[in-house]
A and B are shown apart, each in its own frame.
Chain A
Amino acid sequence: MKVEGVRVLVVDDERAIRRFLTLSLQSQSYEVFEASSAGEGLARMLEIRPDLIILDLGLPDRDGREFIEEIRSWSQVPLIVLSVRDREGEKVAALDAGANDYVTKPFGIGELLARMRAVLRQILPGQEEPVFRVGALEVDLPRRRVLLAGRELSLTPTEYDILKTLIRHRGKVVTHGQLLQQVWSDAYRDERHLLQVNMSNLRRKIEPDPSRPRYLLTEPGVGYRLRDEE
């Protein structure tokens, strides 16, 4: 994927983090802009029209979730949240408010770059392939066939729908609520154990070792992510 000239706005009140992100992203040929508060971030958004925003939730002047909602009221620019660990509730709230993904602090730059690519894939011209492949897993969407190392698996319709939903958002986190809503319906948004049981069964089918999942990754307290890069 070509990311040259993609404009990234980093909104974080920690100078060290901004500096680290700027250097790292510039070395990947992103064009990087910085803001240290929500107010400044908003001003810079209007000024530079970024293609991607990296937003720290713990800003001094605004509640992160509110800020995301405000941005979403007038812009669909891809947005990745940076958050410190053990605030799952906040992560889910940020995702529900319209963030496209999140990265937990402390983080490795490799992880952040992968999330950025997954999010950017939405807006950059790319071909929607009918067959999804990662590792030994192959999903032929038009034929509704799932193969693991060339061997066809038999999935229940629910399990297949879960997989299909995750493929649609490949590489990005899908919250429990979103999965339940899209696979079942709105009325099932809180039926977590339904999702858990089906996910557990799905893992037993497509993961060689369910205690070390390679494809269906858990985002604790938030949801699931389908790996899309080896």
Chain B
Amino acid sequence: MKERSAAGLSAERILVCLGPSPFGEGLLQEALRMARSSGAELWALFVDVPTARLDALSKAALEGNLRLAEELGVKLFIRSGEDIAVTVVDFSRRHGVTRIVVGKPLAPRWKSLFGGTLVDRMIRLSGPIDVVALSRADEERLSRPLTEGRKKVPWPYLEGAALVAVATIAGLPFSRVMSPTNIVMVYLAAVLVAALFLGQGPSILTAVLGVLAFDVFMVPPYYTLVVTDSQYLVTFAGFLGVGLVVSGLASRAREQAREARRREEETLALYAFSRDLASAAGRNELVRAVTDHLSRTLGWDSALFLADEGGGVIPLSGGPTFLPEPIVEAVGDVFRHGRSRELEGGLLCLPLKVKGRKVGVLALAPKEKGRSGRLRDAFVLQVAQALERIALDERALAAERVQVREKIQAALLNSISHEIRTPLSSITGVLSSLRRGEEAFVVDGEARSALIETAWSEAQRLNSLVGNLLNMSRLESGGLQTAPEPCDPAEIVAHALALMGERLEGRPVETELPDETCLVSVDFALFSLVLVNLLDNALKYGPPQSPLVLRVRREGEALLFEVLDRGPGIPEPFREKVFEKFFRLPSASGGTGLGLTICRGIVEAHGGTIEAVPRQGGGTAMTIRLPGVIEP
């Protein structure tokens, strides 16, 4: 059997075996402690024995144990198998488990026919894997050191021979009083038992040995192979024939049982797979579910490729990166032609189709041959359907987003058309009176320059409005990119005031700067825009002629920018709402309801905060707090 390393993730992997034991919790906790102390990964395994019947109490205990394992974040596996020890050891080898932890007080049905308790059998089978048996009080531990090697013993054959011995001993007392032909039945029973429990080879051995033992011990002359009465030869032939037929039949029944169990295992795996796929929320989760399941249930590496818009396929992130470039090309080929293909090295490329539509390619690197193609096909179908579902989800989401965006755009257009028309009408008004001024009535020099001044400042307003709209659309689409660099706050203030320019219309602005030179990392142009927007608001809502204050000060490691006005202030219920898009104070006239939203977007993109605080003595203090002052 192939040894699988734990992909280099963790040197140790501990497997705890769960069952319907009421002490499962203690076992899990102890295993968890063990895993933590050695930095190992902890997995849990429950072996479902199809023939075992559980009473209600055991079922509840089992469910409790499994639930607890999931709650503790232990990776849980379920396998079905007739022989728990074999299944556990087999699983452990396959998945690179280094230590097996089992509970010691075991239910009687876990004892096998000849092999002793489960723990004994596990230790015998485990080879280089440590087996740790925990008693109820966690006191007694049975452990096998790593180094002890062992020879492989053909146990079933020895057991077959033992069966013959038992039959001989059982038959001996009767051999002298009964006809030997009747005693053949005892040997036949032994062959039947061997066929049922040991497999075809051992049962044939049992039949042959049975014939010999019968000849030697039961047929006179005793203790020799010589037969005087030739009619016994017929008995021998009959016995051997019946024995072989029985062993054939029984082993076929065993085969069928095994097949049924395998099918059940597959159904279980498929069920778990479809459950995980159904709950996968996005492509990445889906990829994880697919690769995880395929490697867990089939032991296969896999990678998913999705159809892209250009008619090709793109590998999805999350899968293992075992695919070199030429294989990626081959995958593209498989996708285009829609036919599965096996590449050199056994890599299987299967096209994923839903209702005849190509949705992607699943590439599989089988670890072993001979697993059922039926299961593989079922997996492929599931993956294709899940992909389709996710694509539909995404389409629905996109449609919803478009709807929301359209609504916002409509609201935006309503709110800004007014804002654009206002300055535009002043400008056209000025231009029309200047045009007519030459002929109709004389506009004197002073009136003329006043008119031009108005048009100029209105044009400036229009320009800053366009800037705001641009930034808003960038914020909306997530395309607002800040390019922070060390800036002198004084320089930011200066630039903001310069941008305000004539819009201040002679309103005094008092500035306060920190005494010491310090720098702060911001996007200069965007951050100046924040101050411009705040100054604009202060200008609009403060009483005419009242001075504005623009203050920058340090507060520990943070730099505070404050814009203070003597306006009516913002009532408490609106202090948070003013930053929302399109929100305008009931008392406000005009405005797009975008300025503060943009401010907050930009400030938060810098890792800062902005809030509207009532100013002492009336008015509002818009306060921006930026972390991370840079000392010169």
Contact = CB atoms under 8 A, between A and B. Distances in A.
Interface of A: 85-86, 88-89, 106, 192-193, 196-197, 199-201, 203-204, 209-213, 218, 220-221
Interface string B192-212: 000000000000000000000
Nearest to B550: A211
Interface in B484-519: 485-488, 490-491, 493-495, 497, 511, 513, 517, 519
Contacts of A210: 490, 494, 513
A109 B524 CA distance: 26
Given A210-B494, A212-B494, A193 B517 contact: no
Contacts of B493: 211
A211 B470 contact: no
A196 B519 contact: yes
19 contacts: A85-B467, A86-B467, A86-B470, A86-B525, A192-B486, A193-B486, A193-B630, A196-B486, A196-B487, A199-B488, A200-B488, A200-B490, A200-B491, A203-B488, A203-B490, A204-B517, A211-B493, A212-B497, A220-B524
A201 B519 CA distance: 12
B524 A211 contact: no
B463 interface: yes
A29 to B, nearest CB: 23
A200 B630 CA distance: 13
Nearest to B488: A200
B629 to A, nearest CB: 12
Contact of A213 (B463, B494, B524): B494
Interface string B458-497: 0100010001001000000000000101111011011101
B98 interface: no
B528 interface: yes
B519 A211 contact: no
Contact of A220 (B497, B525, B550): B525
Contacts of A86: 467, 470, 525
Contact of A221 (B459, B513, B525, B632): B525
Given A86-B525, A193-B519, A197-B632, A211 B467 contact: no
Contacts of B483: 88-89, 221
Interface of B: 459, 463, 467, 470, 483, 485-488, 490-491, 493-495, 497, 511, 513, 517, 519, 524-525, 528, 550, 630, 632
Q: Ordered nearest first, which 10 A-B pairs have the shortest CB separation? A: A193-B486, A211-B511, A197-B632, A200-B488, A210-B490, A211-B493, A200-B517, A220-B525, A220-B524, A196-B486
A165 to B, nearest CB: 18
A196 B487 CA distance: 6
A85 B487 CA distance: 19
A211 B463 contact: no
A88 B495 CA distance: 15
Contacts of A201: 517
Contacts of A218: 491, 494-495
Nearest to A203: B490
Given A86-B470, A192-B485, A211-B494, 11 more contacts: A86-B525, A89-B483, A193-B632, A196-B487, A197-B517, A197-B519, A203-B488, A203-B490, A203-B491, A211-B550, A220-B525
A199 B489 CA distance: 12
Contacts of A85: 467
Nearest to A105: B463
Contacts of B490: 200, 203, 210-211
A92 B630 CA distance: 25
A193 B627 CA distance: 17
A196 B488 contact: yes
B488 A211 contact: no
A197 B520 CA distance: 11
Contacts of A213: 494
A64 B525 CA distance: 22
A106 B517 contact: no
Nearest to A224: B491
A223 to B, nearest CB: 11
Given A192-B486, A200-B490, A218-B491, A211 B528 contact: no
- Of A199, A211, A212, chain B has the most CB atoms within 10 Å of the CB of A211
B541 to A, nearest CB: 22
Contacts of A200: 488, 490-491, 517, 519, 632
A106 B459 contact: yes
A200 B486 CA distance: 12
B454 to A, nearest CB: 15
Nearest to B474: A86
Contacts of B495: 218, 220
Contacts of B467: 85-86
Contacts of B524: 220-221
- Of B488, B511, B632, chain A has the most CB atoms within 10 Å of the CB of B488
A199 B632 CA distance: 12
A212 to B, nearest CB: 6
A200 B487 CA distance: 9
B492 to A, nearest CB: 9
B486 A211 contact: no
A193 B511 CA distance: 23
B484 to A, nearest CB: 11
B463 A220 contact: no
A211 B494 CA distance: 4
A108 to B, nearest CB: 8
A106 B463 contact: yes
Contacts of B470: 86
Contacts of B525: 86, 88, 220-221
Contacts of B513: 210-211
B542 to A, nearest CB: 19
A221 B525 CA distance: 7
A200 to B, nearest CB: 4
- Of A204, A213, A218, A220, chain B has the most CB atoms within 10 Å of the CB of A220
Nearest to A213: B494
A198 B483 CA distance: 21
- Of B470, B491, B493, B528, chain A has the most CB atoms within 10 Å of the CB of B491
A212 B501 CA distance: 11
A71 B493 CA distance: 38
Nearest to A204: B517
A130 B86 CA distance: 98
A78 B519 CA distance: 35
Contacts of A199: 488, 491
B70 to A, nearest CB: 52
Contacts of B494: 210-213, 218
A88 B513 CA distance: 26
A123 B495 CA distance: 31
Contacts of B459: 106
Contacts of A203: 488, 490-491
Contacts of A196: 486-488, 491, 519
A195 to B, nearest CB: 9
A85 B525 CA distance: 10
